[in-house]
Amino acid sequence: MSPRYAGVIFDLDGTLTAPGAIRFDRIRARIGMPTSGSILAWIAAHARDDTDRTRMEAMVWEEERIALERMELGAGFAALVAALEARGPSLDTAICTRNNDEALEAFDRLLRGRGYRPSAELFRVQIARSHHSPHLDRALENKPSPEPVHEIIRRWDLGEVFPPVVAHEHDPPRHEAVLFVGDDVDDCLSARRAGVQSGLIQHGERPAEDPRLSRTVDHRFDDLSQVAAELSRPLRSC
């Protein structure tokens, strides 16, 4: 039988959920951040002192809370769930988000409200920001670090099949049977740096093309039904 994907990891905001709930542009305007990229990393690098950092982080948390009320499932979600259920336990699943645990709880409520199974049954491992790793005995680094991917693979009990690698984002993925789907360049960087395949999902949005994407994206998806199709077919060598 042809090899198939063994595991799939999803970003949450703008990937499993529809884009636009979190107003990143408004967060950046409020804290005075001129560029795209990781907001929390920018705050850590640019805050004048602890008070300034706390002030800026409070703005981020406030925008995140507003966004929870606007959270909607991404286009093609039903097709994705059908594909995950068709694969059953032969495909491991995870969510990896830089958002907080509250966002994962809001997503679970949204799923149940729409008649889906609980989030923890569909996505077996869930990692939010500052997740404590029992293995490392400290908080994981956030994406674009490869650490969250390593942690997820370990939690799948696939650490011996896909031992942790730290790769350059331009290296072809060593663990082709694991796919990480996200809507941001940091999702793709985290994937490739952990040696797994990266998939960029756009949900009809056309974000400013980041030059780093051209050599770090293995798949491009318009919506979650295209991810479902990819997960249902035999693995193609990339």
How long a stretch of residues is the chain?
238
- Interface positions with Mg ion (CB under 5 A): 11, 13-14, 183-184
Distance in angstroms (rounded) separating the CA atoms of residues 114 and 171: 40
- The residue among 21 and 177 lying less far from Mg ion, judged by its C-beta, is 21
Q: Which residue is listed with tokens 């693979």?
A: 153
- The residue among 48 and 206 lying less far from Mg ion, judged by its C-beta, is 206
DSSP string, 141-201: PPTTSSHHHHHHHHHTT-TTTS------TTSPPSEEEEEEEESSHHHHHHHHHTTEEEEEE
> Which phi and psi (to 5°) does residue 94 adopt?
-160, 160
- The residue among 151 and 184 lying less far from Mg ion, judged by its C-beta, is 184
Q: Which of 127, 128, 129 is nearest to 153 (CA)?
A: 127
**Minimum distance from CB of 68 to Mg ion (Å)?**
14
**Minimum distance from CB of 184 to Mg ion (Å)?**
5
- The residue among 87 and 193 lying less far from Mg ion, judged by its C-beta, is 193
**Minimum distance from CB of 182 to Mg ion (Å)?**
6
- The residue among 4 and 212 lying less far from Mg ion, judged by its C-beta, is 212
Instruction: Give the N- to C-terminal CA distance of the chain in Å, as an integer.
Output: 18
**Minimum distance from CB of 219 to Mg ion (Å)?**
16
Radius of gyration of the chain (CA): 17
What DSSP character marks residue 209?
A: P
**Minimum distance from CB of 14 to Mg ion (Å)?**
4
- The residue among 6 and 39 lying less far from Mg ion, judged by its C-beta, is 39
Measured from each CB, the residue nearest to Mg ion is: 14
13 is written with which tokens? 């905001």
**Minimum distance from CB of 11 to Mg ion (Å)?**
4
